Amino acid sequence: MYRTGKDVNMKDRILAALERLHIDEYIITEDQTRSAELFFIKKSLDTRRIKNNTSYSVTVYRSFDKDEQPMKGSSMVHVYDSMTDAELDKTLSGAYLAASFVCNPTYELQEKTVNEFIEMKSDLQGKTLEESAKIMADALFAEDKDGDAFLNSAELFVNEVTTRIFTSTGIDAGYRKYYVTGEFVAQCKEPQDVETYQGFRYDSLETEALKAKVRRTLDYTLARAQAKKAPAAGNYRVIICDSYAKELFEYYTARSLAPYIYGKYSSFKLGENVQAKTADGGNTEITGDPLTVSLIASVPFSDEGTRQIDRQLLDKGVLKTYHGGVRFSRYIGAEPTGNYRSIKVAPGTTSVEEMKKQPYLQVVNFSDFQMDDFTGHFGGEIRLAFLYDGETVTPVTGGSINGSIIEKQASMQLSTEMQVEDGYEGPLAVCFDDIAVAGE
């Protein structure tokens, strides 16, 4: 069964409270979460937990005039089935009051769509949470072969989340989704004691992707223990890989968001080749790999009840869609798409091996990598990189890189090899020419 009698009663109690308070615009979200949680010290299972929790959030909207202009404010609160009716009324009335101080130009909420409950397809279905956790735990430790680098701790969670969305416009929609999350710490004690933290999230039993991530992390941790100096200051061919490759493409997903377009923080326009744009607003020839990017609907409904589907964002650099929630999409006259957390980027034409035939600096771990959506600048402090001078490969640590995706996007190369990361399926590596490196 999807919901218990207790759950149904809580939803009805919320609706009754909204009616008592004369709040006629709202969104109610109910999340029922079941999870199997495993905690490891080295390879030994230290703790096992099974959790079952149901939570509710309510967003209330309030329409009013300010300076003779129609406004609509909103406020979101969490409510609990342990609340009395008086406590529920107090919480919701407080949210309604708070909404009166949020002065947004008025807009229409998501209209009623096809109401349905969707069981999302996943190879996690048909298995108990414990069975799926065992499969992923085996993958997690498969590459830990008692070498100099090893996993010193790990956490693994398999989740089943059932979400239901009810709105004042008549939406009654929901879905059940499975996903795996976790984190691990790799350690190497000699010649110096270093640790590398990694997190992961997958919407299916991505055992091979997890094995590859652990294998790379163990290799990187061993190399970090051996790295003793920073690269010399200068300009380099820089290869950025693993999860940092994903962060580079967030420049394009952010700049095409409806709030960025409405606020004029972005000059992106539909139908234009945004990859060919230069810093001064001109155009240049794309000499690298043209970008083809898709927005992937990781859930079938947004938190506002918008039906989400996969959409093409860029086609060989050409912008195909704006995306975002209801309010800002209405403001710019675009179709509300909901907010996306996953993208898919088409592979490039150059293998990582080919990228490495010339001298390079391959950065595999940053202390803090930043991709500035407004300026296009990216960079961070180097925790581990591999420097190839044309003859030997040397692990290095320290220094930092500083580049501009606006200046380099037309010539960047994408790897043919792909990876699956949290919210990302795309090239394993991205290569840029002539990137400034601050070092020794």
Is 222 inside a domain boundary? no
Q: Tell me: do 179 and 231 sit in the same domain.
A: no
Mean pLDDT value across the chain: 95
Question: Is the Cα torsion angle 297, 298, 301, 304 positive or negative in sign?
Answer: negative
Domain boundary among 159, 194, 217: 217
Confidence of residue 226 (pLDDT cuts 50, 70, 90): very high
pLDDT in tens, 118-144: 999 999 998 999 999 999 999 999 999
Largest CA-CA distance found in the chain, in angstroms, rounded:
77
- 3-class DSSP state of 202: strand
Inform me whether the pLDDT recorded for 210 exceeds 60: yes
Model confidence over 274-319: pLDDT tens digits?
999 998 889 999 999 999 999 999 999 999 999 999 999 999 999 9
Burial track 99-115 (b if 16+ CB lie within 10 A, e otherwise)? beeeeeeebebbeeeee
The mean pLDDT of 24-40, rounded to a whole number, is 97
| Shared domain check, 281 and 194 | no
> Which residue among 217, 235, 258 closes a domain?
217
Domain hosting 240: range is 227-440
Decide which of 166, 197, 217 is a domain's last residue.
Answer: 217
232 plus 326 within the same structural domain? yes
Q: Identify whether residues 275 and 138 lie together within a single domain.
A: no
Domain count, the chain: 2
- 201 domain-assigned: yes
pTM of the full predicted structure?
0.92
Residue 54 lies in a domain: yes
Name the pLDDT band for 267 (thresholds 50, 70, 90).
very high
Clarify whether residues 285 and 213 are in a common domain. Answer: no
Clarify whether residues 213 and 246 are in a common domain.
no
Alpha carbon distance 167, 172 (integer Å): 7
Count Cβ atoms within 10 A of the Cβ of residue 148 and give its class: 0-12 exposed, 13-18 middle, 19 or more buried.
middle
422 and 283, same structural domain? Answer: yes
Query: What CATH number does the domain containing 13 carry?
Result: 3.30.2290.10
For residues 235 and 310, membership in a common domain is answered with yes
- E-strand ranges in 189-275 read 194-202, 234-241
Are 282 and 154 in a shared domain?
Answer: no
| pLDDT above 90 coverage of the chain, percent | 95
Whether residue 317 sits in one domain with residue 205? no
- Cis before residue 191, ω within 30 degrees of 0? yes
Mark whether 24 and 164 lie in a shared domain: yes
Once rounded to an integer, what is the mean pLDDT over residues 58-84? 96
Q: Do residue 249 and residue 369 come from a single domain? A: yes
